[in-house]
């Protein structure tokens, strides 16, 4: 009797049982995917791990030796459901992936820091997300935050520097099956595209020489042309040169009608939500393809407390109900030919802009996203880690955890008073619609006056 078929069946069965047992043993349950018509993404801030860089060592001390949790733990809140986690751990990223997917989010946008061959805060992506068990179920892309940090070299955006950087990105990111692409084109977001174009010799040279070079790098690594998005946080600087493929926003902390941006100060969150539909309409009317976005709130207490040169700005009345309203309006503003929607942010805990589950808010923001973008999915039962798992994810030892726990009994500092625009200048005609774009589309003369006044403070 030929036993080989039975041996193969038995072997297959044993392998299947082993895989099932391994899956059952893994602390993070398999994500339950939901269907959405709009692709929803969210920004990831990768600042929650710590690299051992001794001050006395030869290695230069950088922000990778710091940790964003240090500015969170000293206050009573927020407190993530995952605790003060190390976000370079694959298992932590699997919780993020699972929760996000079950809410209807299908891509992460990683804040990414690079200058002249130096990276910052990259371990979250490379050691955490990309090595997570469920990584391939979540698409991702890069948001190049090309602003100054503690780099050894000045900010460098020359063609040679871009060639080095894009070779790295194409090899390590664009080649991944879950890198976000539009018709085969890898999506790459840039914080400040203007400075890049300037260092490359201007618009004409950038379009004629640099863009073809970047596209060729993409082609060599199996992708089509680059899909370049400019984060345009000041509508008066709308991209009109044709350098990029689309524009979007990161956040809207300063955009209001009556109060404008002044530090310290606060403004109602619902005022921002009221203004956003008009803003989105104006952006669509600009002629540039626009990825609609919203913000979950703002309070930079952690980032500003104790820093004499920085003063606090906050959004008051930041509730799940108001956030859900911004999602509904935003989903209506999404164009069928560009069905993408971005939320700022998953975990900007230090800026008070987060949708990741917390002890105070629970899963309210994720419930709202699921309700708006995946209405047929119904109510979700959110899996959560055990206390033992949360402890294993923490960057803190017992002493620091006890200190943070004690801080939870302290009252939170009151938000600053409502801010008023400090300049004696007319922001908009009295008959102008209450629309944030109308407020920010200054003439060059007014813009110079505004910048000068801010620089003098």
- Is 26 contained in some domain? no
d(CA 75, CA 289) in angstroms, rounded, equals 41
Q: Is the Cβ–Cβ distance between 422 and 255 less than 8 Å?
A: no
**CB hemisphere CA count around 259 (13 angstroms):** 24
The whole domain housing 81 covers 34-456
pLDDT one digit per residue (tens) for the chain, 457 residues: 555 544 544 444 444 444 444 467 999 999 999 999 999 999 999 999 987 755 555 666 677 878 999 999 999 999 999 999 999 999 999 999 999 999 999 999 999 999 999 999 999 999 999 999 999 999 999 999 999 998 999 999 999 999 999 999 999 999 999 999 999 999 999 999 989 999 999 999 999 999 999 999 999 999 999 999 999 766 556 666 789 999 999 988 776 555 555 556 788 899 899 999 998 998 898 888 999 999 999 999 988 886 655 688 888 899 999 999 999 999 999 999 999 999 999 999 999 999 999 999 999 999 999 999 999 999 999 999 999 999 999 999 999 999 999 999 999 998 887 755 443 333 333 333 333 343 333 333 333 333 333 333 3
d(CA 243, CA 197) in angstroms, rounded, equals 9
Residue-level pLDDT at 347: 98
- Is 11 contained in some domain? no
Residue-level pLDDT at 303: 86
CATH number of the domain bearing residue 144: 3.20.20.80
Residue-level pLDDT at 263: 57
d(CA 367, CA 361) in angstroms, rounded, equals 11
- Is 332 contained in some domain? yes
Q: Which residues have a Cβ under 8 Å from the Cβ of 124 and sit 6 or more positions away?
A: 44, 46, 47, 48, 49, 87, 88, 93, 110
* pTM of this structure: 0.87
Residue-level pLDDT at 429: 35
- Is 8 contained in some domain? no
Of 225, 237, 150, nearest in space to 192 by CA: 237
Left, alpha or beta for 45 (phi > 0: left; psi -120 to 50: alpha)? beta
Query: Is the alpha carbon torsion for 313, 409, 322, 286 positive or negative?
Result: positive
- Is 378 contained in some domain? yes
- Is 389 contained in some domain? yes
- Is 24 contained in some domain? no
Instruction: Give me Rg for the CA atoms of the chain.
Output: 23
**How many distinct structural domains can be found in the chain?**
1
Of 101, 161, 171, 177, nearest in space to 346 by CA: 101
- Is 10 contained in some domain? no
């Amino acid at each position: 009797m030929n036993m080989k078929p039975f041996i193969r069946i038995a072997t297959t069965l044993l392998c299947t049982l082993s895989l099932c047992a391994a899956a059952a043993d893994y602390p993070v349950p398999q994500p339950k995917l939901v269907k959405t018509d709009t692709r929803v993404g969210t920004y990831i801030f990768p600042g929650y791990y710590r690299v051992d860089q001794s001050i006395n060592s030869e290695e230069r001390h950088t922000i990778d030796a710091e940790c964003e949790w240090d500015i969170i733990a000293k206050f009573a809140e927020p407190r993530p459901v995952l605790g003060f986690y190390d976000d370079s751990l694959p298992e932590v990223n699997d919780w993020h992936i699972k929760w996000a997917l079950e809410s209807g989010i299908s891509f992460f946008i990683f804040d990414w820091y690079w200058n002249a061959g130096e990276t910052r805060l990259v371990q979250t992506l490379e050691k955490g997300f990309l090595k997570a068990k469920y990584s391939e179920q979540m698409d991702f892309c890069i948001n190049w935050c090309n602003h100054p940090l503690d780099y050894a070299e000045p900010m460098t955006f020359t063609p040679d520097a871009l060639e080095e950087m894009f070779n790295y990105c194409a090899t390590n990111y664009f080649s991944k099956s879950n890198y976000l692409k539009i018709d085969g084109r890898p999506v790459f977001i840039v914080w400040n595209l203007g400075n890049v174009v300037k260092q490359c010799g201007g618009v004409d040279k950038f379009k004629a020489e640099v863009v073809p070079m970047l596209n060729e790098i993409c082609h060599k690594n199996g992708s089509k042309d680059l899909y370049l998005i400019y984060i345009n946080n000041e509508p008066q600087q709308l991209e009109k040169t044709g350098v990029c493929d689309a524009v979007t926003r990161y956040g809207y902390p300063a955009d209001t009608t009556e109060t404008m941006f002044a530090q310290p100060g606060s403004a109602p969150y619902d005022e921002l939500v009221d203004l956003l539909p008009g803003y989105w309409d104006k952006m669509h009317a600009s002629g540039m393809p626009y990825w609609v976005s919203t913000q979950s709130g703002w309070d930079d207490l952690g980032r500003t407390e104790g820093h004499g040169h920085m003063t606090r700005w906050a959004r008051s009345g930041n509730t799940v109900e108001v956030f859900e309203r911004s999602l509904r309006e935003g989903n209506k503003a999404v164009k069928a030919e560009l069905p993408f929607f971005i939320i700022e942010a998953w975990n900007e805990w230090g800026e008070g802009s987060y949708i990741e589950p917390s002890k105070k808010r629970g899963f309210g923001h994720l419930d709202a996203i699921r309700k708006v973008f995946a209405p047929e999915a119904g109510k979700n039962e959110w899996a959560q880690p055990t206390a033992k798992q949360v402890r294993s994810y923490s960057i803190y030892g017992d002493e620091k955890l006890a200190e943070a726990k004690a801080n939870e009994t302290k009252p939170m500092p009151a938000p600053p008073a409502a801010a008023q625009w400090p300049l004696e200048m007319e922001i908009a005609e009295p008959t102008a619609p209450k629309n944030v774009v109308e407020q920010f589309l200054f003439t060059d003369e007014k813009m110079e006056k505004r910048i000068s006044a801010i620089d003098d403070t």
